[in-house]
Structures are given as structure tokens and as C-alpha cells.
Structure 1
């Protein structure tokens, strides 16, 4: 799988850009703030319908514009599809595939698959459980796009059930709570089953990858931790997990009503990361934390490759954060990938062997501060300098 073309309009700092791409390595080099990360963020958005930098779509639209457009042409097994996304804050986004509108924006999921490693990934180890849940769900949807609907249904039910619980203190009517328990358990059981299967596949790959990039550290391990119990102790089927959730919801009903919050479900779970006998969070060194984050991304890449869908590998300004051994390990994987997009502040940050096609992102001064992208193409791509890359 590879991108043949990536185009944006009014996306982040870019007013209008159209970037041709080929299999192999493409490097965007330029100072922070020039807009290089914004371009690879657009590619990641096509794959996940989300940003690795912000939680909402509003910051993705260039200041002063009403909407942003992202267009990507993807080649997979000789078949070419062009995805176009229209991002409009405050309104429903729209999508087209080969110029034909699709019923739901999430119908485009699976056309492009990416694995993106960025400085923000340190939060996978040091951040709160929500960071790790999002990592699992994004990877789950990347492998099996149908889970986008499962996650959306679960989130909708969770919001409605939580709102109902909040009315309890004011004497609200809770007669429908049993109904919402059933909906939450049904969707939660499916989502939980998917996560458990995913962790069973990625955990051993992450352990191997960590040993490769941090051979002198203690062994790393990843285990799913649920309010229902440890992941390796839970049943595998959605129906059995649904039954367990219903039992647990009944057990904590009084606590939920008193506190006005939903205490059971995948939204309370975590991916537990360990080094040796202790938790990684709070105990891993800075280097070990980076190595563990890198191991999770490398494991994601290898898991997707095992599904016979080699994703586009995006390395966003990460080599400067890694020591020599980890740079070498990541570069070794990148050299074997069908397509790699790399951003770096200076050419020296890009390891040998990842030269590929190189573009320079700089700034001009015509019509105010502007960025220009120059490289082995005849057309010049310009952007209005905006949010830092």
C-alpha cells in the first residue's frame, strides 16, 4: 500500500498544496513552524479520521477558512482509490471516494492504513489510561474498520447512560437504567472482545521489539486490565463478556447512582505496561519510556503487515529524540517498508539509508510570512505559516 498523491486545502497552515508521492522514502526537512508535520498529519487523518496532535477537528482548519479539504490517492494491490474529506467545524464532515459521496464518513476507513510515530507517543507510557485506550481502539479500527461503528455506538450509549445517572441526585427517573445497562453491555462486550484479541496479538510483538531497541533493559510486557479482571483471565467471546458486564453493573448499581458516573465498561480499562516486575509508568527512565513507545508502534506495524496490508509508515520528527541504537532499529524497519514519510528539522536528524526523495520546507516573505516546499518537482507548493510543526 502506498500514497500516490496527497493534497490539502486550508488544512492547518496550508492554503493549498498538492504533493506527488512514490513508494520508498520521502523526507520533509524544515524548521519547526514551517508546516511539514501538518502534511503528514493530513495523511494520518485520512487513515484514522483523527489527529495525533489534537482531539477535535477545529484546529485542523486554517485560520479564517470555513472548511479544510484533504485528498489522498491510495494504491493497494494495483487498485487506485482517491479519498476526499471535507472537514467543517460545527457541522458533519463529508467524504467522497473516487468523487462519489459515501453514506458515512467512516466508510472510508481501511482504504489507507498508516502507523505514525511522533513525539506525542511518549504519552502512551507516561500519560493517562485514555491515551492507551485510544491507541488500542485506533489500531483495532485500522485492522477491522467495522469497529469504528462499535466504538461510536458504545460512546453514544455511554453518554446517554451517564446523563441518566447524573439525574439520580435530583430524583430523576431511573426506570430505564436496566435498558441502558443492556445496551452498554452489548456494545461494550463487542468492543472489549476486540481489544482482548488485539492485545493478545500485539503484546508478544511489543516485547520482542522492546528487546531489540533496549537490549540492556528488563523485559517489557503489556497486559489488558479491565474492571472485570485481568485480560488473560477474561473470556474471549463478546456474549460472555456482555454477561460479565451485566453482572458487574448490577453489583455496582448503588455506587453508580450515588456518584452519578458509569463505573463499568471499556472506558474504564487500561493497557498495563510493565518493565520487569514493576509498572513502566513512573518507573521507566526517559530512554526506556521512549523505547517502549517505539516498541508499541513497531509492534503495530508488524501486526498490520501480518494481515497482508503493509501500512504507510510515518515518522514525524522522532529521530532527534532517539539514541543511536533506537535510531538504527527504527531506520532498519523503515528501509524495508513499502512507503515511509519522514519529517525532520535538519538533514542530520535523518539516518543514513533513508535519503529517498527529499523536500525542503522553508519560509518566504512574499505577501507576508509564507512557507514554500521545494524538491525534485517542478511545481512549488506554498502554505501560510501557521501552527508550529
Structure 2
């Protein structure tokens, strides 16, 4: 079988027992460092992906992919608008809504958003029906004046299912006794928990007809959309707004949380760069290993040169050695990183069970598990990055070996 001379000699040097055991030790340290850096990078990036997906799913459980709102008035002919929206091939579901600010009073007082929905249509665009801790969305019906509260909001108000809450609309109505705020008494029929403080402590759900009566509107504020591709939300919503005609404002899920997701993306990039330095430092340990190896193999290099080996061949021999050490370290690190990333939650729970330590206490953190989402594209990028660092680390020692003068090297042999 044909093998290039550089590859043959380089692999032979890699397998051979070295006279200088310190060189072998440094090689093992370099290999272990690369493996450790690659493992850490895969696990950390997988955890960052897991948190990103977890937060994204929780936010999108309450926020639709896109929203079409009336600029000046409510959407009066909303049934027709809803039918047009559902005909779009990218729209998986559409539902009308009313959303206004309000003051809520139970045992205590708290402010929040009141969202009026149609319980039969809401599951098409949101996951709140799957997040109910008590009660269900179908307990909301027209004229029943029931209300579903976030868990933290119910706690702040000091109420539970079956108790009553007074909702004050931020509007004044004239009466014979003077101007008084518009208010209505609602009965708590359910409690939900999303796992996001923004919604659990500041959102109340009522039937859309009850919200319309409270706020004296003649229709919903807009239509919420769920799409087959959430990253095309703004484009699809804008097309629908143009098709519906009139004055509409279009918002997508990113606009309301752009800074939040931008911060997560920035943190992920920074963590990737910092941990890449660990891989780089480990890879550049190969420089010292190969420099000592070049010094140790001066006589062999001189003999190869006298037999006709070119400087490029000598350079290739030592590059093969460095790359082989790097590839072995990358392979071990990739294997360990993939195994850890795929089983991270089980490993963390096992450690918590055995030690009694709690990494993410549910009393403190909304996300009490350590989510992990390993993506093969990230694994491939990390392995490629480690390979590039290993290859760069071999250039100087290999170049130094290629400059060896045969006569000078064999003078004292």
C-alpha cells in the first residue's frame, strides 16, 4: 500500500518509544489538555444552547410568533381577518386578543396586564393551556367573568382559585356622583406557571368578551399568529397586514425580546472565545514537545537529508507527528464532550442525589434543571478549531527541523 514518506516516518516516530521520557510526558500532557479543552467547550456550548432553547420555548409559550394590531382602532371585522390569516401557507394558527393594563385587587393590590382571549382559539398560538397548575382555560366563558392568574401574581394578590379579584381599568367613566374608574369583579378559575417572572407575576387571562365589556372596545386589539418558521415571522405578518388593508402595526416575537436574545447570543460567543483559548493553550503545548523532539532527532534528520530527503519532507514528518497527537486529543475530547452533553441532566441529578448539593435551587431559579442541547454543527466546528490550532502549533518546530544542516548535526555523532 502506498504511503507518503512523510506520513510513514511521522507515524513511526509517533509509535516509537522515546529515549527521552520527558518528551513523552509532555506529549501526553498536550494531548490531555486538548481533550479537556474540547470536552469543556462542547459541554458549555451545549448548556448555553439548552438555556437558549428553554427560555425561547417559555417565552414563545406566551408570546405568539407575530402579531397584527390595529394602529388607531380595534380590528372590527376580525372573523374575516382571522380567516384570511389562516389561509396563508406559513400560518399554523391564528387567534384574536385584547391586551390592556389594569390594577388588580385581592387581599393586596398589584398591577399587571389583562389579556382577553378565546379559550378555544388560544391553544393554536400559545402553550398556556399546558402550563396550568390549577383549573383550565375552558373555565373561561362569556359573561362568566372568570380570570386565570400567573402563580406569582396570585401570590402577590393573596388569592387562590375560587376567590375574587377586582380589576380596575385605567379609564374614567362619568356618573351622577362624579368620575369613577371602570372596574369589574372577577372570580379566579385557574393559576398558570410559565417559569418566566415577566408572565408569572404580571399577566392575567380573561375571556375576550369579558375584556371587551371591561374596556368598552368594539373588537379585539389584534390577531396573534403561530408560523411554521418563527424566523420569518415579521415578513409573513407584514404580508398579511398588507393583504388585510387599513392601518395595521406588525410585531414579531424578536422585537419584544430582542435585547434579551441578543444578550444570550453575545454570552454564547464570548464563552466560545474564552474556552477556545483553553484549546489553543493546550494545542500550543505541542510546540515545546516538537521543539524538544527536533533536538532529540538531530542525527536522524541529518541522515534523512544526506539520503536525499528535502526540507519539505522533513517539515512534513514533524507536522504529521504534531497533528497525530492533536487529532488523538481532539477525538478523545469530542467523545467525552458528546457523552457528557447528551447525559448532562442525568449526571447532575446523580451528583445531587449522592452529595445532597443543589446546583439550581427551584426556590431561587426559574430554570431548576441544567438543560443541554448538543448540536452536531457545534461539535464539528469545535473539532475543526482544535485541528487548526494543532496544525498551527506544528509549523515552527517543523520549519526548524527543515533548517537542520546535516554536517553540523553529525559533527559530534
TM-score, with length taken from structure 2:
0.20
Normalized per residue, the structure richer in helix is 2
Normalized per residue, the structure richer in strand is 1
